[in-house]
Structures are given as C-alpha cells and as structure tokens.
Chains A and B, each alone.
Chain A
Amino acid sequence: MPKLKPEDLAIITERVRRTMILREGTGRAIIRVHMGTCGIAAGARTIMNTLMKEIEDRKIKDIILTTSSCAGLCSREPMITVEVQNQPPVKYVDLTPEKTKIIFDKHILSGEIVKEYALAFGSERVP
C-alpha cells in the first residue's frame, strides 16, 4: 500500500463517508420507502433498487435512504416519503421506477416538489 500524503486523508474521507452517513443520521434529505407486506407486493423493492442505483451512479453521499413500514394507504403503494432538510415531508403514491427517477431529480436534488405524484404534505400526528 502506498504511503499516505496529508491530502490523501480528504480522498479517503470522501470515499468512506458515503457509507458512514447513515450512522450519524444527518443528511441533506431522507427518503423512506414504505416496505410493509403491501408495499413489497406492489413493487416497493423495485423502487428501492431504483433509488439505490440513482444514489450509487451519481456518487451522492449526503442522502439517507431507508425503509419504513406500511404507511396505511395500502391501495396506493408503492409509496415513498421524501424529507428534504428544513422542509415538511412529502408522500408520493402509486410509484413506478420512471416516476421515482423524476422525483429524485426534481424534488430530492433540486428541492422542487413533484405535485402530480404527491399525495400530501406532512406526516400523521403523533401524540
């Protein structure tokens, strides 16, 4: 292995942080794919894979992708909830990989909500 130079630290950090961001829990945006039985049956796994591929291909390292359980609206699955920092969460319904890619481009990367696929702002109230 070659000996490190001081500037190599930043390169290693750049590479490794992408897998470590999950552990610190702070990212520019959090995407939750609802993966209850209903979600999985409706194809949530394809949505998840699409999102993972987008993140992988674009070498993004400050977006957290995670799963969540059924959101209660089983007939509109697959669903995702997108929470861009400092903005209320948005739920998207009836997704396909194509729609997901558009949402990823517009909402997650540019902060512009894709109204035609969105169900509602916000999450349920918890006591």
Chain B
Amino acid sequence: MAYRCNVLLCTCTMCVSVGALKIKSKLEEEVKRFNLENEVQIISTGSSWLCTKGPTLIVQPDDIVYQLLKEKDIPNLVEEHLLKGRPVHSLMYIHPEELHPIEKLQDIPFYHDQRLIALWNRGIIDPDEIDEYIARDGYKALVKVLQNMTPEDVIQEIKDSGLRGRGGGGFPTGLKWEFCRKNPGSPKYLICNADEGDPGAFMDRSIIEADPHSLIEGMLLAAYAIGAEKGYVYVRSEYPLAIKRLDGAIIKAREYGLLGKGVFGSDFNFDVEIFRGAGAFVCGEETSLIHSIEGEPAEPRQRPPFPVEKGLFGSPTNINNVETLSCLPRIINFGAKWFAKIGTEKSKGTKVFSLAGKINNAGLVEVPMGITLREMVFKIGGGIPNRKKFKAVQTGGPSGGVIPESMLDLPIDYERLQEAGAIMGSGGMIVMDEDDCMVDIARYFIEFTRDESCGKCSSCREGLDAMYEILTNICKGNGKDGDIEFLEELGEATINASMCGLGKSAPNPVLTSIRHFRDEYVAHIRDKKCPAKSCVDLIEYSVDQEKCTGCFICNVNCPTNAIIGEKKKPQTIDKSKCIKCSVCFEVCRFDAIKVG
C-alpha cells in the first residue's frame, strides 16, 4: 500500500505521559472523517524529539514538525495540513528568542547538528514493526558477519573502529570481546546492561523504545564475536514501555528465525532473555548486576577476576551497555574506517546524551565526540530558559562532576572530561543556572548515592554518610572552618578505599564543586550566605519600602499570613511567621520583595 503522507507520532514514555495516545486516536478519528485512511499513514515511533515539547509529530514528506499538541488542535491540523496541504504555523516549533516558527525539521538547530549512529532509526520506524527495521538495512550486518567474517574478523573490525564502552568506563569494546573470546571457560554469556539509574539520564530507555531491533542485532553480532549462545538484557523494572517493546521485538525476531537455534540457517545459535532489575542503583555495577541475575543480593565483589574471566554462573561474561551494542550494526555495515573518522583522536564515533535541567530543549541528542559543551548547551540545547545565566553542567550523573562556565569550550571526549574532574558517564547532562546552589546540588547527589550505597565497604557507607551530614550542616548555616578540607579528605579516602564504581565515584560532585566553586562553600560557612539564594535557612525575605505600592497581592497570597500592612501602604514581613516559600517574590509586580 502506498501512501502520500506519513504522520510520525512520537510515543515514548514522556510523550505518552502527556497524552500522545489520545492524540493518536483523535488523529485516526479525524483522518477517517475526511476519508484519508488510504492516503495518510499514521506511525507511532520511538522517543526522539524534543522531549519537553511533547507530544510532537512530524509530517512527511513535507518534513514539518508540530509540538505541544493538544487533542483540540488535531481536527484543525488534519483539515488544514493533511487535507488541504496548508501547514499550521501556530503549532510549529519556535526557537528561543525568535519570533517566527521553524517549519522544517532539518532547519531546527536541535536536529541540524546531530549525527545519528546509535539512534539511526529513531523517529523514522515503528519500533513494533520488524519489517520497517529490515527495510532500513536491518539485520544486514548479521548476514555479513555470518557469511563473510570469522569471529576474529569481527573483533578486529571493532578494535579498528576504536569503539569504547558507552556505559561510562570507556573501555575499548573490541579488547573486552577478545579477552572474553580467548578465555577457555564455557559456556560464555553476553549481558546487555540497561540498568540506567542516573537521575536525569534516559539514553538507554530511549534507544530501546525507539529501535529495539538495533539492540538485538548488536547483541547477535557481539555474541557471534565472543562465542556466546545465551544473552541477557538487564533492564530496570521502572521502564515498562521499553520492556514491552523489547519483548515484542524479541518474539518477532524469534519468529523470523533471527534468534534461537540456527540463526539465518547457519550453525550459530543465540537467544536473548530479558531480566528485570529490582531497582537499585548499584545493580548497574557489573559484578552486582551478575549477582542480581544469579539470584544473590545485588552487592559488588572484588575485581579481578573480571567478568570476562569469571562472570555469570562462574563463566566468562561480556557486559556491554545498550548504546555500545546499538552502534554495532552500523559499524559492521559501513566499516571500521568510516566510524574511526568520526570523533576525536582517542574517542571515536558519536555519543548519545540526555540533556536535562535548566535548558530550553531538554531531550535526547546524539553528537560526534569532540563537540564542545558550549555548542551542546547553547546551540543544540537552545540556551537557558527565562534569560538566566548559565552556571555549570553536571556530566555523568551522581558519579560525575560539575563543569563551570570557564570550561565550556572543552571538547567532549573521555580524556578531556576526566581531566576536568568529571566523567563521560553514560551520558546524562544536567544543566544548572544561576539560581542553583552548588553546595545544595552536591548535597543532593551525595544524598542519592548515600541511599543507594549497598553498605559493603565501610568507606562508602560511612564516608558518604559523614559527607552528607557536613553538607547538610553547611546548607543550614552551621558550617565551620575546616569543613571544606575535611570534605576533601573524606572524598579522597572514600574514592581510595571503596571497592566498586559507586563508592569510587560518588564523592566526585563534592570534589569538583569545591574545585570550581570554592567561594560558594566559603560564603555558606563564613558569611552564612547562599549566593544563589537557594538554601532556605540562609535567606530572608523583606519588603523594599520604597518600591512597595501596597497593592496587597503578596498579602493575599501569603499562605501563613506573614505579611502585615494596610492597603496602599508599604507592607512588612513577620519573620517569625515566614516559611520562605517565595510566593510573595513570585507574585510581586513591582520588584519590591528582596531576597538576601
């Protein structure tokens, strides 16, 4: 069946949560009303677009994007655009600080600078249709390796491509496979790590939701290279849609004979099982993850022996991240040389990032390695909302560190980020503006890792607890001289004495924020002031008697009746009643509420 128009509706978790499915049924209803069913095809795609602008849809071949759709917009959209061919300007994307909407997808800076390898099929195919994946060169790489390449050739190809683990560590993927293949133990296992626990990170979920077959094909390629017949995808239970789509994809792949015994009629056998994680951050650590699949408590163990020597059920096990595996079909199809041309000297290819926090275009982006943070935040990300000033960006989630404005021209690759004290991590990128207090942010991350610490190593268990207490005191105005030095010492000790990646990286947010924003810590401790005016215990609200017109709006809105005064006369705030909720500040139209 040929159509004249494709409507690609994003149905990722985020868009579904803001009503994408309602939009879909309304679209279908309207298309039917105008008898366009045989001309217009509606396709649900995976996550891809500007996540904060959902629900979004794209009309092809016109290449026009619509955002922030509501059910009531649909009848007009269908009649105007789909029936009469007149794109609806009022529903299009408007770039921050511009007045006119951008019509075409390709012209939106957010898309223009991206390069898709892991997200090759995002937003183009229906993730539930294996045939659409196949039509975009799907499973071609698998045929290529089964017919023309030995496992050693595949390993060499991946080594030549320079692909490094995308889960955070950055270990060369080809080398890891070689260790696993050369290990005499048997059987061998392949595990895909989809236990994405960093706050603000959603790369793995989005890849699985948009294109589950890329992951399955990647796993087949990896399994062929290392000689595994059984694979697991360890995915968080909190990702129901990703699990559903992956499960459906596995069933379809089995029906086609792409998984199971004798893949494509060859003598290569491989099957995949989904393992749902019970939801602990530490499960993303590879040895904990193995324990979890074995049915043991999810606690890490000492390495070596590494999982490639002694992993799942004592067998050699290769663990790769979702993104690493999803790149593989393209590397095999287009060749190692093509992949190695993209990126920087030591970091090849592209990386998927999830942009979150104080940024206009929050969402999922895939960019070549070596792009600067400035391009990332201001060009692709569209800058900071409400004309606020950029302050810092946290890469790598709770294991990473903050990077201040002075280092915005840093090219993003594994080594450079490490030099700056942060890490690439799995690709979470949280942007902070001038209203964010760095001490409070550090406290937040330590609170998270403190809760998630499994408690096996005392350095991590007690160290993070002690750091949390000190940071809380500082935020409450009870910091003392020497706290900063003590935090640094504790952080170093926790890093040195803890066994697994969680403890070894958890103090990073504190250490980097001290390194780049020491003056903020000093202001909290010595002057008992919070420069970002975010720590509630260190700020006070008062009324500027000259500016206040007595319009009474603050008085009416104050939830605790802390604002006293007569109408048309300047007001005052009763500090004993004030709960510092900031309502008066937000409602005041005369800039008369002072915070400090």
Give A residues with C-beta under 8 Å from B.
1-6, 9, 12-13, 15-20, 22-25, 27, 30, 32-37, 40, 48, 52, 55-56, 60-61, 64-69
Residues of A within 8 A of B63 (CB): 25
B134-152 near A? 1/0 per residue, CB < 8 Å = 1110111001001100000
The one of A23, A55, A61 in contact with B124, judged by C-beta atoms closer than 8 angstroms, is: A23
Total A-B residue pairs with C-beta atoms closer than 8 Å?
105
B99 at the interface (CB under 8 A from A): no
B3-A19 in contact (CB<8A) = yes
B264 at the A interface (CB under 8 A): yes
| Complex Cα–Cα for A113 and B89 (A) | 34
Does the CB pair A35–B6 fall under 8 Å?
A: no
Q: Bound state CA distance, A18 and B4, in angstroms? A: 10
Q: Which residue of A lies closest to B8 (CB)?
A: A23
Which of chain B's residues has its CB closest to A16's CB? B135
Q: How large is the interface on B (under 10, 10 to 19, 20 to 34, 35 or more residues)?
A: 35 or more
Q: A24 contacts which chain B residues (CB < 8 A)?
A: 124
What's the Cα separation between A19 and B132 when bound, in Å?
A: 9
Instruction: Assess the A4–B257 pair: CB atoms within 8 A.
Output: yes
Q: Are A23 and B60 in touch, CB under 8 angstroms?
A: yes
| Residue contact B6 to A37, C-beta cutoff 8 Å | no
Whether the pair B38, A23 counts as a contact (CB closer than 8 A) is no
Nearest CB in chain B to that of A14: its residue:
B135
Q: Which candidate, B80-88, B175-183, B520-528, is the interface stretch facing chain A?
A: B80-88
Contact between B264 and A4, CB atoms less than 8 A apart? yes
Q: Which 7 A/B pairs are nearest by Cβ-Cβ distance?
A: A3-B257, A67-B85, A16-B135, A69-B86, A65-B4, A1-B255, A68-B85
Q: Give B241 Cβ to nearest chain A Cβ, in Å.
A: 22
Asked if B556 CB lies within 8 Å of chain A CBs, one says no
Bound CA span A47–B256, Å: 40
> Across the interface, do B256 and A22 meet the contact criterion of CB distance under 8 Å?
no
Residue of B nearest to A31 (CB): B4
A60 partner residues in chain B, CB cutoff 8 A: 2
Docked Cα-Cα span, A16 to B138, in Å, equals: 12
Which of A13, A17, A25 lies in contact with B61, CB distance below 8 A?
A25
Alpha-carbon distance between A18 and B2 when the two chains are bound, in angstroms: 6
Given A23-B6, A23-B61, A67-B85; 13 other pairs, CB 8 A cutoff:
A3-B257, A12-B135, A15-B131, A16-B134, A20-B132, A20-B136, A22-B3, A22-B5, A25-B63, A32-B85, A66-B4, A67-B4, A67-B82
10 A-B interface contacts by CB (under 8 A): A3-B257, A9-B134, A9-B139, A16-B135, A27-B61, A34-B85, A40-B83, A52-B38, A67-B82, A68-B85
Q: Once bound together, how far apart are the Cα atoms of A5 and B134, in whole Å?
A: 13
Say yes or no: B61 contacts A22, CB within 8 Å.
Answer: yes
Instruction: Tell me whether B432 is interfacial, beta carbon within 8 Å.
Output: no
Give the residue name and chain of the B residue nearest to A24 (CB): B124
Q: A6-B147, A35-B85, A36-B86 are in contact. Are A67 and B131 (CB under 8 A)?
A: no
Closest residue of B by beta carbon distance from A6: B143
Partner among A9, A16, A20, A67 whose Cβ is within 8 Å of the Cβ of B5: A67
Query: Contact: A6 with B264, CB < 8 Å?
Result: yes
Q: Is B156 an interface residue, CB under 8 A from the partner?
A: no
Q: Determine how close the nearest CB of chain B comes to the CB of A43; give it in whole angstroms.
A: 15
Q: Are the C-beta atoms of A1 and B2 separated by less than 8 Å? A: no
* A23, A30, A52, most chain B CB atoms within 10 A: A23
What B residues does A37 contact at CB under 8 A?
84
Bound Cα distance from A33 to B84, whole angstroms: 10
Minimum CB–CB distance from B280 to chain A (whole Å) comes to 39
User: How far is the CB of A50 from the nearest CB of chain B, in Å?
Assistant: 12
Contact digits for B174-208, partner A, Cβ 8 Å, 1 yes 0 no: 00000000000000000000000000000000000
Across-interface contacts of B143 in A (CB, < 8 A) = 6, 9
Q: How far is the CA of A80 from the CA of B261 in the complex (A)?
A: 53
Does B238 make an interface contact (CB < 8 A)? no
Quick check: A52 and B39 within 8 Å, CB to CB? yes
Contact A13 B134 (CB under 8 A): yes
Residues of chain B with a CB closer than 8 A to A52's CB? 2, 4, 38-39
Q: How far is the CA of A36 from the CA of B86 in the complex (A)?
A: 8
Q: Which residue of A lies closest to B146 (CB)?
A: A6
Query: Which residues of chain A are near B258, meaning CB under 8 Å?
Result: 4
